[in-house]
Each structure stands twice: as C-alpha cells, then as structure tokens.
Amino acid sequence: MSESILFFSFSFLAISSSALVITVKNPVHAVLFLILSFIASAGLLFLLEIEFISLIFIVVYVGAIAVLFLFVVMMLDIKITESDKNYLKYFPIGSFLGLAFFGEILFIIFNNFESNPQESTIQHFNWSEFVDYTTNVQALGQVLYTTYFLYFLLAGIILLVAMLGAIVLTLTFDRKVKTQTIYRQVSRDFNNAIFVTSIK
C-alpha cells in the first residue's frame, strides 16, 4: 500500500514538474522544476529497486547537468520575456506528435505485458530467494572499496588537484578584491598593532 502511494506521488510530481518546465516564463524556475522532475524520476527508479541508476540520476543529472544549466542561465542574465501570442499555431502538430507518442507507448505495453503472469506457460521464479541477494549498490561498493580502492583514492586526489589548480589559475589579486595577508597578521605585536595616520 505504501509503495503504491509513493509511486503515485512520485508520478504526479514528475508529470507536474515536467509540465511546469515548459510553461513557466522564468528560465531559472524552469531549471529548478527540471531538477524536481529528475528527483521524482530517481524516486521512481528507487521504488523499482534500481538503486544504482537512481543515485546516478541524482549525482549526474541533478548534481552536474542541471546545476550547470542553472549557472549558465544565471550568468547569461536572460531577461524574462513575454510569451508569444502565436503559440497556438504550434498546437495542432504538437498534439499530433503527443498522441502518436502516447499511442506507441500503449502499443508496446499491450503487446509486451500480460495481465496475469500466472496464466502464462512460462514458469516464473523469484531468483532472489534462491541466491545470496545483495543490492547493486552493495555489490558495487564491495568491489570499489576492496579491489579498486587504490584507483578510487588516486581519482579523488587527481580531482582535488584539478579543482585547486582551477581555483589558483582563476584567482586574481586586485585592489578591489579584499584579501588577507596571513603573514602580516600573524607577525603583528603590541607595538605595531596601533598606529596613527594623518587624513588630509
């Protein structure tokens, strides 16, 4: 019962957020609704017990691509424009393509899925009851942190060095930028801590 509630909740959230992506006027809001649709899709994949793909959905799509879109939209400073009044002229071909796509989905569902699998001549086995069942995330973590742990640590160090190198290369010291001189702050004592200046 709880799985059905979660399924319908994630489905409604994914459909509504996907519709809002193409209907809102603000591009920043559109990217935020896109992130919400990715999270809802990851929840649906998690209900199907596909944990690895669900986590990859969040890490790759939400953590990298959607955030990159958001940064690009914010840096370009795209102005909010009024929607064109002639958008109804695209409604016939859009509705035709939507109905055709919906018909293809129904055709695939009705031809490849049975209403009652018990009536089929093929006997169904739940192989997870006969083997030592582990989730794909546990299997991946067991291999990653035992056999390939050295390569995993090296990849993390390389990414850390690349991030620090990008920060150092893009850091510019300008008079407008307020920076700290740690050596001068540490070497100060009571004699040179307070000094008098003349203002013209």
Domain containing residue 168: CATH number: 1.20.120
The pLDDT assigned to 154 comes to 92
Which ranges of the chain does DSSP label H, i.e. alpha helix? 2-21, 27-47, 51-56, 67-76, 91-112, 136-144, 149-170, 182-186
Per residue in 136-183, pLDDT tens?
A: 778 888 888 888 889 989 988 998 898 888 777 766 666 666 677 777
Asked if 4 and 27 count as a contact pair (C-beta separation under 8 A), the reply is no
Residue length of the chain: 200
Kindly state whether residue 30 falls inside one of the protein's structural domains: yes
Q: What residue type is 181 in one-letter code?
A: T
Kindly state whether residue 124 falls inside one of the protein's structural domains: yes
CA distance 156 to 160: 6
The model's confidence at residue 10, banded by pLDDT at 50, 70 and 90, is: very high
Q: What residue type is 30 in one-letter code?
A: A
The pLDDT assigned to 99 comes to 93
Asked if 57 and 41 count as a contact pair (C-beta separation under 8 A), the reply is yes
Top pLDDT among 62 and 17 is at 17
Query: 10 Å Cβ neighbour count for 70?
Result: 17
Kindly state whether residue 194 falls inside one of the protein's structural domains: no
The pLDDT assigned to 189 comes to 76
**Which tokens in the block code for residue 63?**
């953590």
Kindly state whether residue 122 falls inside one of the protein's structural domains: yes
Per residue in 64-78, pLDDT tens?
A: 788 778 777 776 766
- pLDDT beyond 80 at 3: yes
The total of structural domains in the chain comes to 1
Per residue in 98-121, pLDDT tens?
A: 899 999 988 888 887 665 555 555
CA distance 128 to 136: 12
Considering only 43-57, 58-72, 96-110, which range has the smallest mean pLDDT? 58-72
Kindly state whether residue 101 falls inside one of the protein's structural domains: no
Asked if 136 and 51 count as a contact pair (C-beta separation under 8 A), the reply is yes
**Which tokens in the block code for residue 27?**
């591009």
CA distance 153 to 144: 10
Angle at alpha carbon of residue 87, lines to 86 and 93, rounded to 5°: 120
Structural domain span for residue 37: 2-83+114-186
The model's confidence at residue 130, banded by pLDDT at 50, 70 and 90, is: low
Kindly state whether residue 41 falls inside one of the protein's structural domains: yes
Kindly state whether residue 193 falls inside one of the protein's structural domains: no
Kindly state whether residue 198 falls inside one of the protein's structural domains: no
Top pLDDT among 51 and 38 is at 38
